[in-house]
Structure 1
Amino acid sequence: MNTVSVAVLGVLLLTVGTLALIIRPRRASTVDFYLAGQRVGVVTNACAICGDYFSAASFLGVAAAVYVSGLDGVWYATGFAAGFVPVLLFVAAPLRRFGEFSIPDFLARRLRSEHVRLVAVVVVQLIILSYLVPQAVGSGITWELLVDRSIAGLSPYATGVLLSTTLITVLVTLGGMRGTTWTQAVQFLLLLSAFVWLAIVLLGSGFNYPDAVAELSREPLTNPEHSDGGWELTTEANRLQEDQPTIFGLPGGRYGHLGQFALIMTLVMGTAGLPHIMNRYFTSPTGTAARMTTVWVLGLAGLFYTLAVLLGTAARALISEAAAEEPWLSELTIDGVLRIPEHALLVLGRLHGDEAGLGFIATGALIAVLSTIAGLLLAAAASWGHDVYERHINPGATQRQAVWAGRSAVLVVALLSAVLALGLRPDSMTALFPSVVATMVTWAFALAGSALTPVFVLAIWWRRTTAAGAVAGMVTGAVAAMLLFGTGTVIGGRGMSEMMLTPTIVAAPLAAVVTVLVSRWTRTPADLDRLWVQLHGTAADRRAERLARLTVAGPGVLGRRGQGRR
C-alpha cells in the first residue's frame, strides 16, 4: 500500500507544483494577485468556488457524519448546499457591481469608514483561522491512513499537516489568485470524479441506497467510544426520544429539534460571510456573471452532496460486512465500526479499488484540503496585505510592495494554522462529535454567520446602515457567538447546549438588531445615493451617474481622465 500511496502522492505534488510554475504571473499587480484581473468566466469561477468550498469537511466530513449518525449527518449536506441560496438571492450581483478587493474593503467603502475596515479584518482573520485548522487536520488524517510514514521524527499525522500546508503556501505565494483559480477548478473536477467513480463502482456492484438504509435501521446505532479501559462500542443516545435507541434512518442521533434547526441555519447563514468564498465574486467580470456563477455552484453542490450522503451510507453498510474478511480493517475498527469516521471513504475506496482505489480517494481528500487552504490563504493575504498594509501601514506602497505584503501574510497565517492543527488529537475528539472535521468547520460558519453575514446583508439592502452600526453589529455577533459556543462546550448535554454549539440563530439576530438600533442614531454616508446606484442600479444607471459626476466636476476633470486613459 505504501508504495502505491507514495507514488500517487508524488504525482499530486508534481501536478500542483507544475501548475504553479506554468501559470505564475511574471509581474503581478494587486488586481492580478488578489482578483485574477477580474476576468474569470462563469463556469471556471463556479468550479473554482466549488474547489474552494468543498473542503475536507465536505469531502471527508459529510460522509463521516452520515456514517456515524445516520440521518442527522444529512443536515450537514443540506446546510452546506443550501448556503448558496441566500448568496444567489441577496449578495452575488450587488457585491460584484460595487466591486472591491475583500469584504473589509467593501464595507469600508460602502460605509465610508476605516474603523469598519479594521474591525472587519479582525473578524475575517478569526473566521479564516477557524476554517484553516480543520483543513490541516483533514490532511493529517488522510496522510496517516494513506502513507503512515513520518519525516524528521514527526508522527504521520504531523507530517501530513506540515507537508500539505507547505505545499499550498508555495503555490499561493507564486501563483496568486490567477494561478489558484485554475488550479482550484481542476482540483474540483478531480474531487467530483473521485465521488462519481466510487458511486458508479458501488451501484454497479449491487448496492441499493433505500435497501441499505432500511437494513441499517433494523438495529440501534452504535459507535466506538474511547475510555480509560480502551475502545468499546456504545449505543448512541436518542436526542429526540430518551426512552428509544437511535436509529440510522431516523433523526435524533446527534441533535434534538432545536439542535437540528440551529445547525442548518448556521451553515446556511454562514456561507454568505465566508471571506474566501465572497472574495471570489470580485473576480467575476460583471454582476450578471456573478449571479450565473452562483446558479452553477448550486447545481454542482447539489450533485456533490447527494453523492456524499450516498457514499456515507454505503460505508456504514459495507465496511462492517467486510471487517470479518479483511484483516487490515481490524486496526481501524471496533467490531466492524470505524474508530475515526473520516476514514469511511478512504476505506471504501480500498475495498472496491484495492490500493489504487485508496490512492484515488485519498488523493481527492488531499486535493480538497489543498484547494480550500489556497482560498483561505488568499483571503488572508487580501485582508492583511490590502486592507491593513496598503491602507494603514504604507499608504504609498508600490504594486510590488503591496503584493509582497500579501505574500508575507500568506506565510504567517499558514504557519499559525499548522501550529494550531498540530496541537489537536482527532482520535480523542471523535466521541464528542459526529465528524471532527465537519464540526470544526461549522464553528467557522457560526462565526461568519453571526458576525459578518447580518452586517453584510444590511449594508447591501438597507440604506440606513451606518459605520457605527456595522462596527457594533460585528462586535456583538462575534462576542455572542464565542460566548455561546464556549458555554455550550462547558455545560454539554441537550437542548439549549446544542443550540449554543451552533449559535447563529441567536447571535445573528442579535447582531442585526444592534446594527439597526445604532444605525438609527448615527449618520449615513453623505454620498449614499451614488453608493446605492453602484450597488443596485442598472448598467445604464451607473453610466448616467458617472456622467453626471464628471459633468459637475467640469471639463478640466474630463480632460485629465481622458489623458489618463491614453
Structure 2
Amino acid sequence: MSTAAVITLLAVFVVVLGVSLITRPRNSSTVDFYLAGQRVGVVTNSWAICGDYLSAASFLGVAAAVYVSGLDGAWYAVGFAAGFVPVLLFVAAPLRRFGEFSLADFLGRRLESDRVRLTSVGVVQVVILCYLVPQSVGGGITWELLVGHGILGLSPYATGVLISTAVIAVVVAFGGMRGTTWNQAVQFLLLFAALLWLAVMVTADGFRYGDEVPVHTEDPVMFGEPGARYGHLGQVALVITLAMGTAGLPHVMNRYFTSPTGRAARTTTLWVLMLIGAFYALAVMMGTAARDVIPRSVADHPWLEELTVDGVLRVPEHALPVLGRIYGEEAGLGLVAAAALIAAMSTVAGLLLASAATWGHDVYERHINPGATQKQAVRAGRLTTLIAAGLAAALAVLLRPETFTPAMPSLVATMVTWAFAVAGSALTPVVVLSIWWHRTTAAGALTGMLAGGGAAVAMFVTAGFLEPSSLRDLLAAPTLVAAPLAVLVTVLVSRRTSAPESIREVWVRMHGTAADRQAERLARMMVRRKGKS
C-alpha cells in the first residue's frame, strides 16, 4: 500500500463530499432535486455530461481494449464518441423543449399512456443496472491495485466496490442534481487533467509498437492490423450498438432537461462532442503506448512481475494505473487510480439520480402517492438512490473479474456494452420516432420497446454460450439487428392504432419556433377564457 496513493485517494473523497455540501439544494422541490432548477449553464452542463458519460468503461475500458486488441479495441472509442452525433442532430433540442423530468416521463406524456411510462421505467432500470455494475467493478479493481487491503474481513476488491459506491450514493442522496452537476463537472476536469498528464509523460519518453505482440492464445494477435479480434460484421455491430445507445442512456439524456432552453441543449452537445473526442483520442493513445512501455519496463520495475505474465498484464484494466506508476511512481499511481475512481463515481452519481427520477417521480408521485408533498417525493427519490446503489454493489461483488470471461477485450467495457445494447435497441428507436414521426402511438411504442429490448437481451445472453466467431460478435453487440426490429414493430403497430389527440400541440412544443410556441400558449389561454365565460 502506498501512502502517497492513499492520500491522493482520500483527497478525492474530500473534494467530492465538499462540493456536494457546498452546492446542495436549498429547497426541497423535485425540480431542484432532479433538474437543478433547470438553470445549468452550457459550459457547466457540458463538463457535467462528460463526467457523467466518461465512465470507468471509458477511462479504464477503452485503454484496456486497445491494449489487448490494438486497432480492434479502438472501435470502442469510435462508438462512444459517435453516440453524441445522433443526440445533437435528432434528440437534444426537441427533448429539452418538451421539458419533463426523465425519458420515461417524456414518453408517457408524449404518447399519453401510463403503460408506456411504466414500461419505460422498467427498461430504464435494466439499462441503469447494466451500467451501474461495471462502474462498481471498476472501483473494486482500482482499490485492489491502489490500496491492496480490505476492511472488516472483506477482500480488497469487495472493499473498493462498497466504499466507492457508498460514498457516491451519499453524495447523490443529499446533493441532488445540483450537487451532482458540480461534482461531475469538477470530476471531469480532474479526470481529463490526469489523462493529459499521462499523455505528456508518455509522449516525452517516446513509445513504439511492433507488428506482432504475443498474448496467451494459440495464435498471436496482430496488434497493428484490424480484424484480429473482430471481423467486419463485428466491427460494424459494435460501433452501431455504442453509437445508438447514447440517445437512450437515461443518466445522460436526463441532463438535457436541466438546460434552460432547447438551444442551450444543442450548444451543450457541441461542447461535449469536442471534449469527449479529445478524451478518447488520448485514451486510444495510452492503450497503444502501454503495449510498448509495460513489457520494456518489467526489468526496471520488479513490482510489475506480480501483475504481468511474459510482460503482458493479467488484468487489462490496470494499463493506465501501471503507466501512472511507471512515470510518476507512487504519486503517479495515486493520481491515475484516483482518476479511475472519479470516472466510476461520477457515472454512478448520474445513474443513481436517473434511477431516483424514474422511481421517485414517474412511479411514486404519479402512481403510488399522487398527492405526495414535495418533501415526500424527494425523500422517495433519496431512498431509491440508496436501494439501487446497494443492489449494484452486491452484484459487482458477486461478479468478480476472475470469475467472468468477457466476450470482448475488457470486462468493464463488455458489461457497459450490455447497457448500450438495451438502450439503443429499446429506448432510442422509440424516443427518436416519438420526436420525429407524428403517427407514433402508445401501442406502437410499447410493442417496439419490448421487441427491441427483448431481442437485445436474448442475443447477448446467447453470445455468452458461443465460441468466438462472427456470429458471436454480432450477438454480443445486438443493436444492428434489434433496433431495426424495434422500428419496424413500432411503425407497423402505430399504423393500426390511433395517435394522441394532442399531437398538434405537442409538435409545436417540440419543433416550433419560439414565436410558434408563444402563439400556441396564447391560443390555449383564449380557449380557457371562453370556456369560463
The TM-score with structure 1 as length reference comes to 0.93
Whole-angstrom distance in 2 between the partners of 1:320 and 1:359: 21
User: Are 2:187 and 1:171 aligned?
Assistant: no
User: Are 2:226 and 1:234 aligned?
Assistant: no
For 1:480, the equivalent position in structure 2 comes to 455
Amino acid at match of 1:473: G
Whole-angstrom distance in 2 between the partners of 1:95 and 1:26: 27
User: Are 2:351 and 1:376 aligned?
Assistant: yes
User: Are 2:517 and 1:523 aligned?
Assistant: no
For 2:390, the equivalent position in structure 1 comes to 415
Partner-residue secondary structure (3-state), 2:493: helix
User: Are 2:357 and 1:357 aligned?
Assistant: no
Contact map agreement 2:406 2:414 (CA 8 A) in 1:
no
User: Are 2:205 and 1:222 aligned?
Assistant: no
Deviations 1:499-539 (A, max 9, x none): 00110011000011000000001011111100110010011
Deviations 1:473-523 (A, max 9, x none): 001111111111111211233011210011001100001100000000101
For 2:279, the equivalent position in structure 1 comes to 304
Amino acid at match of 1:308: A
Shift in alpha-carbon separation, 1:259–1:100, aligned structure 2, 3 A: same
Shift of 1:3: 1.3
Contact map agreement 1:550 1:557 (CA 8 A) in 2:
no
Q: Count the aligned residue pairs.
A: 533
Partner-residue secondary structure (3-state), 2:73: helix
Whole-angstrom distance in 1 between the partners of 2:194 and 2:489: 46
Partner-residue secondary structure (3-state), 1:403: helix
Whole-angstrom distance in 2 between the partners of 1:202 and 1:327: 20
Amino acid at match of 1:62: V
Whole-angstrom distance in 1 between the partners of 2:66 and 2:221: 13
**Counterpart mapping for 1:232-311 below 5 A:** 233-236=216-219, 245-311=220-286
Shift of 1:259: 0.6
Deviations 1:210-267 (A, max 9, x none): xx2xx421x2x333xxxxxxxxx3355xxxxxxxx53111112321111110000000
Contact map agreement 1:235 1:246 (CA 8 A) in 2:
no
Whole-angstrom distance in 1 between the partners of 2:468 and 2:305: 32
Larger mean CA deviation between 115-124 and 198-207 belongs to: 198-207
Whole-angstrom distance in 1 between the partners of 2:15 and 2:218: 45
Shift of 1:555: 6.2
For 2:143, the equivalent position in structure 1 comes to 143
Contact map agreement 2:5 2:335 (CA 8 A) in 1:
no
**Counterpart mapping for 1:440-519 below 5 A:** 440-519=415-494
Contact map agreement 2:242 2:420 (CA 8 A) in 1:
yes
Contact map agreement 1:39 1:284 (CA 8 A) in 2:
yes
Contact map agreement 1:247 1:253 (CA 8 A) in 2:
yes
User: Are 2:68 and 1:93 aligned?
Assistant: no
Partner-residue secondary structure (3-state), 2:217: strand
Amino acid at match of 1:325: D
Q: Structure 1: 5+ residue runs without aligned partners?
A: 224-232, 237-244, 559-566
Whole-angstrom distance in 2 between the partners of 1:434 and 1:427: 14
Shift of 1:202: 1.3
Shift in alpha-carbon separation, 1:557–1:419, aligned structure 2, 3 A: farther
Amino acid at match of 2:395: L
Whole-angstrom distance in 2 between the partners of 1:321 and 1:553: 77
Shift in alpha-carbon separation, 1:379–1:470, aligned structure 2, 3 A: same
Partner-residue secondary structure (3-state), 2:140: helix
User: Are 2:519 and 1:544 aligned?
Assistant: yes
Shift of 1:431: 6.7
Whole-angstrom distance in 1 between the partners of 2:250 and 2:519: 32
Q: Structure 2: 5+ residue runs without aligned partners?
A: none
User: Are 2:402 and 1:427 aligned?
Assistant: yes
Amino acid at match of 1:168: I
Contact map agreement 2:41 2:260 (CA 8 A) in 1:
yes
Partner-residue secondary structure (3-state), 2:258: coil
The TM-score with structure 2 as length reference comes to 0.98
RMSD of the TM alignment (CA)?
1.2
Whole-angstrom distance in 2 between the partners of 1:126 and 1:557: 46
Deviations 1:184-208 (A, max 9, x none): 000000000001101111112233x
Shift of 1:557: 6.4
User: Are 2:215 and 1:191 aligned?
Assistant: no
Shift of 1:2: 2.1
Amino acid at match of 1:216: G
Whole-angstrom distance in 2 between the partners of 1:70 and 1:400: 51
Larger mean CA deviation between 425-434 and 482-491 belongs to: 425-434
For 2:129, the equivalent position in structure 1 comes to 129
For 1:110, the equivalent position in structure 2 comes to 110
Whole-angstrom distance in 2 between the partners of 1:287 and 1:153: 51
Shift in alpha-carbon separation, 1:151–1:37, aligned structure 2, 3 A: same
Larger mean CA deviation between 536-545 and 478-487 belongs to: 478-487
User: Are 2:303 and 1:328 aligned?
Assistant: yes
Whole-angstrom distance in 2 between the partners of 1:482 and 1:18: 40
Whole-angstrom distance in 1 between the partners of 2:406 and 2:178: 41
Whole-angstrom distance in 2 between the partners of 1:173 and 1:113: 29
Whole-angstrom distance in 1 between the partners of 2:250 and 2:186: 21
Amino acid at match of 2:91: V
User: Are 2:85 and 1:64 aligned?
Assistant: no
1:405 to 354, 361, 380: 380
